[in-house]
Amino acid sequence: MTATKDSRDTIKWLATAIGAAAAVAFGAGPVLASTTLDIAQWQPARVFIYIVSAVAGAAGVAYIIWTLLKALVPRPMSLDDVPADVIAQLDATAEVSYPGDINTYEEFLLRFAAYRNAAIGFRYDAALSASTAERAELITCAEQAEDNLKTLRRAEDVILEKAGFSVTRQAIYDIKWPVLAGVCFTVLAVAVFQLTISGPAEEAEPTASPTQAVMVKIDTSESKTLWKALRLEACEMSDGRVPVLVDSGSGTTSDPYLVQTVTVLDGCPAMSFAVTSQAAIVVMPEVADQGEDG
C-alpha cells in the first residue's frame, strides 16, 4: 500500500498548503496592506468589491480543497474492481504477477474461487465423514487447498495494491482541470482582494484654512458686552480693532462667525468664540480688496 499511501499523503499536504496560503492571503493581507484600512471611509463600490472578492476567494479555496480531498476518500477494492489497464499489465507479466502456472487474470479468479470452495467443501465433508481414514484424507486435501489459497491471497494483496494506485492516479488525473479552474478563479479573487485593500486611501474632504480678518467694535450693547466679557482690549492693534482668524460663518444669528484671536500682543489670550454682525463687524481682506477696486 506504499504507493497509494504516498499519493494520498501528497494530496493531503497539498490541500494543507493551499489552505495555509489562503489564510496568509486573506488573513494577513490587511495587516500587510500599504494603506491604513478604514473601511468606513471607502466608497460603497470599493466595499462591495472587497466583500465579493473575499467571499469568492474563500469559496475558491474551499472548492480546491474539497476537490483534492475527494481523491483521499477510501474506495473499497476487490478482485472484481480491478481496472482493465491493471489487468492488461498483469497479463503481460504473468510469469511474475501470478503464482504457479496461471497465465491470465481470468484464470487467477477461477483458481481463487476453486481453492476457496475446495477448502470449505473438504472441511465440510471431513466433518460429516464417518470413516477416520477418509476424514484424514479430506482434511489433508482441505489443508492443501488452504495453502494454495494463501499463496493466491498474497498475490491478491499485490494486485489490489496496484489496482488501488491506479484508481488513485486516475482520480488525481480526473480532478486536474477542476482544480486548475479553481486555482485560476482563486488567484483572480485574491488579486482583486489585494488590490482593493492596497489601493489608494480615500481622500478626505479638504478643510478650509482660517481667513485673516479684522473684527471692528461697533456702538451696540452686544459689542460692548463682547469686548468686556472677553477683555478684547488687550488684543486690539488699534482702537476698537482686533485681528482675528475666521474659521467659518456668515455673521448671521443662525450662522455666526467662528473666530479665534491672534496672539501677537502680550496679554492677549488665545480664544475661539462666535460673533454675529450685531456684536462686531468682521472685515475680510477679500471684502476690503473689493471695496478698494470699486
Write the single-letter amino acid at 42.
W
Contacts of 267 (CB under 8 A, 6+ apart): 234
Instruction: List, for residues 82-97, the tens digit of each pLDDT value.
Output: 999 999 999 999 998 9
Distances (CA, A) of 7 to 90, 158, 167: 21, 17, 11
Residues in the chain: 294
59's enclosing H/E stretch is: helix 44-70
Are 63 and 177 in contact by the 8 Å Cβ rule? The answer is no
Instruction: List, for residues 33-50, the tens digit of each pLDDT value.
Output: 444 556 677 788 888 888
Instruction: List, for residues 57-91, the tens digit of each pLDDT value.
Output: 888 888 878 887 777 776 788 899 899 999 999 99
Q: What are phi and psi of 277, to 5 degrees?
A: -70, -20
The predicted structure's pLDDT at residue 106: 94
DSSP three-state, residue 270: coil
Write the single-letter amino acid at 99.
P
Mean pLDDT of all residues in the chain? Answer: 80
Taking only the tens of pLDDT, the chain with its 294 residues reads 455 555 556 666 666 766 666 665 555 544 444 445 566 777 888 888 888 888 888 888 888 788 877 777 767 888 998 999 999 999 999 998 999 889 999 999 999 999 999 999 999 988 998 888 998 999 999 999 999 999 999 999 999 988 888 888 888 788 888 888 888 888 888 788 777 777 555 555 556 678 888 899 998 888 888 888 888 888 888 888 888 888 888 888 888 989 988 877 777 888 889 999 888 988 887 544 444 444
The predicted structure's pLDDT at residue 112: 92
Residue 141 C-alpha cell reads as: 486435501
Residue 202 C-alpha cell reads as: 480615500
DSSP three-state, residue 72: coil
Residue 195 C-alpha cell reads as: 488590490
The predicted structure's pLDDT at residue 293: 45
The predicted structure's pLDDT at residue 93: 92
The predicted structure's pLDDT at residue 236: 87
The predicted structure's pLDDT at residue 31: 41
The predicted structure's pLDDT at residue 288: 42
Distances (CA, A) of 185 to 61, 190, 196: 9, 9, 17
How many whole angstroms separate alpha carbon 155 and alpha carbon 142?
Answer: 20
